[in-house]
Structure 1
Amino acid sequence: MRAWVVRAGENGERERAALQDGVLVVGWDRLKMGDLADTSTRDDIRAAVAAAYPDEGPYTVGNWTGQLYRFVHEIQRGDLVVLPLKSLLVAIGRVTGDYEYRADATEGLRHVRRVEWLVTDLDRQSIQSDLLDSMGSLLTVFELSRFGAAERVAALAEGRPDPGRPDADDFAATLTEPTKLYEEVRRRSADEPLTLSIRDFLAVWGVQRRYPAATEQIKSDLAARGLVTVPPFTEGTLDSRIAVLAGGAEPDESGTSAVTRLSGSSDLPEGVQNAAHAASRLPEEEAETQTVAYRVSNLDSANRMPESVRVGDDLGTATTIMVLRGYSQLPVLDEDGRLRGVVSWESIGRARMADTHADLQAATVRGQEADRSDDLLDWVGTIQQSGYVVVRDHDHKVCGLITASDLTIQFGTRVRPFVLVEEIEQRLRRVVDRCIPLDRIRAVVPKGRAAKVHSAANLTFGAYGHLLKDPENWVALGWGIDQQYFLAALEECRNFRNSLMHFSPDPITDDQLLPAQGLLELLRSLDPHT
């Protein structure tokens, strides 16, 4: 059994038909019955999509082909399907039929599969954030394959609580406040440090992202208790693991600290030794100097050991890996895991020009190498120019590799929330300027500033809420929607916008974007021609 998401249109336009008729339904109406019902391969569907949509490029055709192939062939009877609703509820069903084309149905409702809806009013709050985030793709048809999704969706469909990801840290969930964290570190013996993910560590303080204010509070709390995190909790991704050590505990009878004893022990797990060894080398001012920034370690790829070759390997081994994985370069490591250079298609070509029998050593060139604690922005130019940078840990061992593609994903993810909020503001400005007289717009700002207000563009985001609370202004918009729900959504978006203005190295999740996305979709529906 597998679990899928099949959306009902960008703005939920097919939701009612899907729920009332007991079907999964997708668009792509230019494709007729024979285009899909008679297909057996991806190439068949790709040809049909390309013929039906001749103005689309290869990327779009390939993307649509994958979604339609999943809908027609990969989804099986008995699979579970999730339908996120625009009401912010969720429907879950079980697939009962094969692909059908309904030629007589209304346009937009012709490509369907039968489904038995098991629940149609599941509150999103009952779904844990990791699974909810997985449902946030903008694709119409995609599989939920991570974090034990199928079993969890089945539990939700039966009215049971979301059991959470199979690899979840159940113990970390019991650390519900800082005092419990302190007590747990104190309870443990010196050779059994507490380790947990940064995500779970932040949850102890009730926060999800590393905003400066939250980070300063956590650092202050740790310092007051004589604790240290290794690596610093300001480095790495939210899923990176850290150890919490009693760095300030007094020396024992031998005159050594717990950190020094741990770092010098050979009988402990490697992860514990590494954590203690790193803590023993922290500078005195570390607690004061570690800040939240765009660290190299904030990228997932910086914490994922790259494929590599070793000094002395055959050049054919390197080229085979590069072709199989589609890599442009590979790190060349010594027996201790430290960087000795990089082999790339360019370096291979240059070596072979000089000697057609050139080996790996001849094709190895000096590689760009960044420390995981470095400021990522300092390396952007290098990555753009060379296409990559190898990442090393505090022991100078390779621990990751960042490419230009990783940068595109990182900063593209960061731009998206700002673009979304900007469109919301632009749409509010246009409708307010069009429907509400300037004198009433000026009435919501302090009298000393009123003369400087020439249009809605001069209003702060928060001022729109005050403006639209007024019954006369609300009626002027001519919107047939609930005023209180809209104002509540506007206030939630204002808070979201304000949070964007506070720096954090952690990305906004799809779940955190939902309120703003919902408001934007509502504004688009109310004023579709702007």
Structure 2
Amino acid sequence: MRAWVVRAGENGEREHTALAEGMLLAGWLGLGDLTGTATRDDVKAAVAATYPDEGPYTVGNWTGQLFRFAHEIQPGDLVALPLKSLRVAIGRVAGGYEYLADAADGLRHVRRVEWLVKDIDRQAIQSDLQDSMGSLLTVFELSRFGAADRIAALTDGKSDPGRPDADEFAAGLTEPAKLYEEVRRRSADEPLTLSIRDFLAVWGVQRRYPAAVEKIKADLDSRGLVTVPPFTEGSINSQIAVLAGGAEPDESGTSAVTRLTGTSSLSAAVQSAVHAAERLPDEESQEHTVAYRVSNLDSANRMPASVRIGDALKTAMTIMVLRGFSQLPVLDADGRLRGVVSWESIGRAHMADPQASLEAATVRGQEADRSDDLLDWIGTVQQSGYVLVRDHDHKVCGLVTASDLTVQFGTRVRPFVLVEEIEQRLRRVVDRCIPLDRIRAVVPRGRASRVSSAANLTFGAYGHLLRVPENWAALGWAIDQQHFLTALEECRQFRNDLMHFSPDPVTDDQLLPAQGLLELLRSMDPQN
């Protein structure tokens, strides 16, 4: 079973018909019967013939949506229909594609549906699933984060169970007060542990922006709580413990943090947190900043494959061949680094002695502390191809390679490239369609004379410019103005957030609003 969204028009104009007659309606004025189509190429040919003035991007985009509507959606699949009332209807697809030739244009492409519920409050749907529903496409699949099972739960009158990979207990900590009470309820040897991602969600934030970090730290300080390791360190998926660091000593004269060090029945994650807690700086000297640490990379928190002192060299070679590794750390019995074996070091050792041991092939390895500034190690990783990562006890806890850096910074660059294309397309269409004097009219008088084109506008100024009826009409776009301006404002806020440093990557779901706006701009202005 799969789950889909099929919208009822840009302004919900097909909503009443869809709900009253048990139909999914695809729209696409002027397009003929798709019953005889069997492949994407067949649908594409029909779309291109009906809309000869549209460019390749638009034709391809519409082809994908219509092919999904006519062929990929199957009887038994679930479908969600976002309503103008800010509620959601959910139904089960009951039949194949139909073309109603006698119906009004725009109501001819049909799939029969049995509406199971028509009034789900969107607030009952968790934010990640709401974001997935936020695409500007008419027909698309909800495929991420267990969407089909979650939609099915909503139809049964249950609450949205959330992401299948989410911590069920952490999901219940919906506000700081609940987190405080949970920490208070627990005994010293049973601390509250959760991921940084789930910890941030208690305050309703997804990334560690400076303002959010300051707010959370102030809240923790006022309640006498501390996170170990600090929630500003590590990747968004790292585990932390939340402790009553400011509580008075017990009868033995020790703090909650110190008492944990004597507890042997703790999980590995909590034991690591305890060791980190012993090294926490005092409250007065602790810097309230977020830096881009080595530990912010997921790979820095993932124990790499390794060999131990005393292993055979052939063991290291076998692991390297099986895993496709260029090097392998050599650890002592306590998990601390004693060196690295690589194909180069193996070759040199064999040149000196064909029966060389692992010890003979082991050379010094590059090792960073997980709290080091990542930027300080980029040159080393570029030159050597890797750097090993050690934790607070100087035990190896991760490995950062050039590939990890490429993925990480590629992920961080992508949102900026996306926003830049949105701005470029806005500039081009505004310069082409709106006279300079009207562009200058939205700029404060003192700066208007310095505006020579749309390139001199701030991103926020485009909203003011296109809110003017005369300017909007000049674009000649057959889309809803208010929906466009809302999407533009969401993108402005997204762009502003990008300008504030955060060590956490932007997720695909967080990119959805900007991606939807870009898709719309590409459709309205298909020039390259």
Q: TM-score range by the shorter chain?
A: 0.7 to 0.9
1:248, CA displacement in angstroms? 1.6
Equivalent residues in 2 for 1:387-466, closer than 5 Å: 387-466=385-464
Q: Measure the CA separation in 2 of the matches of 1:215 and 1:434.
A: 43
1:174-196 Cα offsets, whole Å, 9 max, x none, are 22222222222222221111111
Contact kept? 2:459, 2:492, Cα under 8 Å: yes
Match of 1:233, as an amino acid?
F
Match of 1:38 in 2: none
Match of 2:357 in 1: 359
Match of 1:349 in 2: 347
Q: Which shifted more, 257-266 or 486-495?
A: 257-266
1:521, CA displacement in angstroms? 0.8
Contact kept? 1:80, 1:154, Cα under 8 Å: no
Q: Measure the CA separation in 2 of the matches of 1:376 and 1:23.
A: 57
Q: Measure the CA separation in 2 of the matches of 1:392 and 1:23.
A: 62
Match of 1:236 in 2: 234
TM-score, normalised by the number of residues in structure 2 = 0.76
Counterpart of 2:489 (choices 488, 491, 498) is 491
Match of 2:58 in 1: none
In structure 2, the gaps of 5 or more residues are 7-25, 43-67, 97-110
Q: Which shifted more, 455-464 or 263-272?
A: 263-272
1:422, CA displacement in angstroms? 0.5
TM-score, normalised by the number of residues in structure 1 = 0.75
1:209, CA displacement in angstroms? 0.8
1:401, CA displacement in angstroms? 0.6
Counterpart of 1:325 (choices 323, 326, 329) is 323
Q: Which shifted more, 486-495 or 280-289?
A: 280-289
1:128, CA displacement in angstroms? 4.7
Q: Measure the CA separation in 2 of the matches of 1:5 and 1:319.
A: 49
Q: Measure the CA separation in 2 of the matches of 1:190 and 1:385.
A: 46
Q: Measure the CA separation in 2 of the matches of 1:186 and 1:500.
A: 36
Q: Measure the CA separation in 2 of the matches of 1:136 and 1:328.
A: 43
Q: Measure the CA separation in 2 of the matches of 1:123 and 1:405.
A: 44
> In structure 2, do the counterparts of structure 1 residues 83 and 387 end up closer, same or farther at CA, with 3 Å as the change threshold?
farther
1:65-108 Cα offsets, whole Å, 9 max, x none, are xxxxxx9xxx9x999799999x99999989999xxxxxxxxxxx
Q: Measure the CA separation in 1 of the matches of 2:178 and 2:153.
A: 31
Match of 1:168 in 2: 166
Counterpart of 1:501 (choices 488, 493, 499) is 499
Q: Measure the CA separation in 1 of the matches of 2:363 and 2:133.
A: 43
> In structure 2, do the counterparts of structure 1 residues 166 and 441 end up closer, same or farther at CA, with 3 Å as the change threshold?
closer
Q: Which shifted more, 166-175 or 477-486?
A: 166-175
Q: Measure the CA separation in 1 of the matches of 2:36 and 2:457.
A: 46
Q: Measure the CA separation in 2 of the matches of 1:485 and 1:460.
A: 20
Contact kept? 1:209, 1:506, Cα under 8 Å: yes
Equivalent residues in 2 for 1:108-187, closer than 5 Å: 128=126, 151-152=149-150, 155=153, 161-166=159-164, 168-187=166-185
Q: Measure the CA separation in 2 of the matches of 1:287 and 1:176.
A: 31
Contact kept? 2:78, 2:152, Cα under 8 Å: no
1:342, CA displacement in angstroms? 1.1
Q: 3-state DSSP class of the match of 2:291?
A: coil
Contact kept? 2:132, 2:509, Cα under 8 Å: no
Q: 3-state DSSP class of the match of 1:291?
A: coil
1:459, CA displacement in angstroms? 0.6
1:202-224 Cα offsets, whole Å, 9 max, x none, are 11112111000110111122122
Match of 2:245, as an amino acid?
G
Q: 3-state DSSP class of the match of 1:196?
A: strand
Match of 2:100 in 1: none
Q: Which shifted more, 326-335 or 272-281?
A: 272-281
Q: Measure the CA separation in 1 of the matches of 2:92 and 2:293.
A: 43
Contact kept? 2:79, 2:90, Cα under 8 Å: yes
1:22-72 Cα offsets, whole Å, 9 max, x none, are 99987578xxxxxxxxxxxxxxxxxxxxxxxxxxxxxxxxxxxxxxxxx9x
What is the RMSD of the two structures over their aligned residues, measured on CA atoms?
Answer: 4.1
Matched, 1:265 2:263: yes
